[in-house]
């Protein structure tokens, strides 16, 4: 549909230009330039997309995506020059009315045909745009409706020029020239911003930042940068995670973040994620306990069967109890640990301290970037924190019992 609309506009522009030239209608020639400017903008986009589809090379490892932007910038400058010349011509016409020989049947007929054509093009673009939910077609439809108004003004201007009414022809030419100038400035300015890697979509930036912060294991985001390259966008961002997270797990977190962004947005061509440990040294931990006695609560021997769980946040200076959780699944026979994890996972845990953990719970926690450390039954929460801070706890790297045992004990 976009191609057909562009072709129809091209035919109209050529027809208006020829009719204006042979019948001495400056207004019609200016209108032809206005239609031509629209075609040039469409051509820049199409040419750029064609060039952007070319494969990357050794010399151009980032592809040819910015070719569209560069071509649009050059054409934008050309359109600005045309607009300025048209304004100068319109100013001259305000004070000099040339004699028109004979009634301008052909120029007026061409303007009328242009009005009818623009009307049908606009209606078709709007209908197809709504049907396929294409924003670009809907925007083109608005431009086509604007062309109806301009062609109507041109039609009236041709008639007034024939009647030798002062100022009308020059004023109409200046009006259309200003629209041409506006189109050129918009194209050139937008292209310049893209070439300078300006962030033109702060809403998308905020949306991506929000999605990243929802990923379990991410402790914050910083420097989310989006730069456009032709029809595509490229995202670079920094994410923070627990300083205790091993390097290979940090890579997994980066891959997970990249996959989320690439899946959510089709026009994003590449994502670069840089992972850093969170500036805050505070970490959170889940501990299965026998009783509720603050930091003196004692560890229960098995993760899934613990009557209570304590959630603590601590750093080098202090330890704070964030919450206690009562195990409401003790009467159930299977997968208790999994249900507990689902209930407390919203606390964005960094680690679990336990003496035993089954296979299913183990891998569920690992998938959520939770490190697991081995402790002894009847140790207090205070003792555990102290031993962790002095690097006296061993990390559990495999489940303490098998899947079959987990199905019975969890």
DSSP annotation string for 306-368: -SEEEEEEE-SS-EEEEEEEE-TTTT-SS-HHHHHHHHHGGG--SEEEES--BHHHHHHHHHT
Q: Give the mean pLDDT of the chain.
A: 79
Output DSSP code: residue 358.
Answer: B
Asked whether the beta carbons of 73 and 188 are under 8 A apart, the reply is yes
Q: Which domains does the chain have, with CATH numbers?
A: 2-195 (1.20.1510), 202-277 (3.30.70.1350), 283-409 (3.30.420.130)
**Rounded distance between C-alpha atoms, residue 367 and residue 327, angstroms:** 22
Q: List pLDDT tens digits, range 309-350.
A: 999 998 888 899 988 899 988 888 777 888 888 888 878 888
Q: List pLDDT tens digits, range 74-96.
A: 777 877 877 787 787 777 667 66
- pLDDT value, residue 49: 59
Asked whether the beta carbons of 220 and 240 are under 8 A apart, the reply is yes
- pLDDT value, residue 410: 45
Q: DSSP secondary structure string, 248-280?
A: HHHHHHHHHHHHHHHHH-TTEEEEEEEEEE-S-
Give which of 78, 69, 38 is closest to 192, Cα–Cα: 69
Please name the residue that has the structure tokens 């790297």: 397
Asked whether the beta carbons of 27 and 172 are under 8 A apart, the reply is yes
**What pLDDT band is residue 403 in, cutting at 50, 70 and 90?**
low
**Would strands 232-241 and 268-277 be described as parallel, antiparallel, or unpaired?**
parallel
Phi first, then psi: what are they for 265, rounded to 5°? Answer: -130, 115
The token duo for 303 is 């993760």
- pLDDT value, residue 53: 67
Q: List pLDDT tens digits, range 220-269.
A: 787 788 888 766 788 989 988 877 777 878 888 889 899 999 988 887 88
pTM of the model: 0.54
Asked whether the beta carbons of 176 and 154 are under 8 A apart, the reply is yes
* pLDDT(280) > 60: yes
Q: Is 190 helix (H, G, I), strand (E, B) or coil?
A: helix
**Rounded distance between C-alpha atoms, residue 10 and residue 19, angstroms:** 14
The token duo for 253 is 């977190």
By percentage, how much of the chain surpasses pLDDT 90?
Answer: 11
Question: How many residues comprise the chain?
Answer: 410
């Amino acid at each position: 549909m976009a191609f057909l609309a562009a072709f129809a506009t091209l035919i109209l522009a050529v027809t208006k230009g020829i009719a204006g030239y042979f019948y001495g209608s400056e207004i019609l020639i200016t209108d032809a330039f206005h239609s031509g400017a629209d075609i040039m903008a469409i051509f820049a986009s199409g040419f750029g997309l064609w060039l952007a589809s070319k494969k990357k090379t050794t010399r151009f490892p980032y592809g040819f995506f910015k070719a569209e932007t560069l071509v649009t910038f050059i054409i934008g400058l050309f359109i600005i020059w045309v607009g300025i010349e048209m304004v100068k011509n319109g100013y001259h016409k305000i004070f000099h009315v040339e004699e028109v020989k004979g009634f301008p049947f052909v120029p007026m007929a061409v303007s009328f045909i242009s009005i009818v054509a623009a009307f049908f093009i606009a209606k078709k673009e709007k209908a197809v745009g709504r049907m396929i939910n294409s924003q670009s077609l809907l925007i083109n439809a608005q431009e086509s409706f604007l062309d109806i108004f301009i062609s109507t003004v041109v039609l009236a201007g041709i008639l007034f020029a024939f009647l030798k009414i002062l100022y009308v022809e020059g004023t109409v030419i200046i009006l259309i020239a200003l629209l041409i100038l506006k189109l050129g400035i918009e194209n050139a300015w937008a292209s310049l911003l893209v070439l300078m890697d300006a962030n033109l979509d702060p809403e998308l930036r905020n949306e991506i930042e929000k999605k990243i912060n929802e990923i379990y294991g991410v402790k914050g985001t910083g420097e989310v940068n989006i730069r456009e390259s032709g029809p595509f966008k490229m995202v670079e961002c920094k994410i923070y995670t627990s300083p205790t997270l091993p390097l290979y797990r940090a890579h997994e977190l980066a891959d997970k973040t990249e996959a989320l962004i690439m899946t959510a947005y089709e026009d994003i061509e590449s994502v670069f994620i840089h992972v850093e440990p969170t500036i805050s040294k505070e970490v959170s931990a889940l501990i299965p306990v026998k009783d509720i006695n603050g930091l003196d609560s004692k560890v229960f021997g098995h993760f899934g069967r613990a009557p209570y769980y304590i959630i603590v946040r601590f750093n080098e200076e202090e330890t704070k109890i964030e919450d206690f959780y009562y195990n409401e699944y003790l009467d159930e026979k299977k997968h208790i640990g999994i249900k507990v994890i689902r209930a407390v996972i919203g606390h964005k845990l960094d680690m679990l301290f336990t003496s035993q953990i089954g296979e299913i719970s183990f891998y569920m926690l690992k998938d959520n970037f939770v490190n697991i450390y081995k402790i002894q039954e009847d140790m207090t929460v205070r003792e555990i924190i102290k031993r962790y801070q002095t690097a006296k706890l061993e990390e559990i790297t495999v489940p303490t019992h098998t899947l079959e045992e987990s199905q019975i004990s969890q």
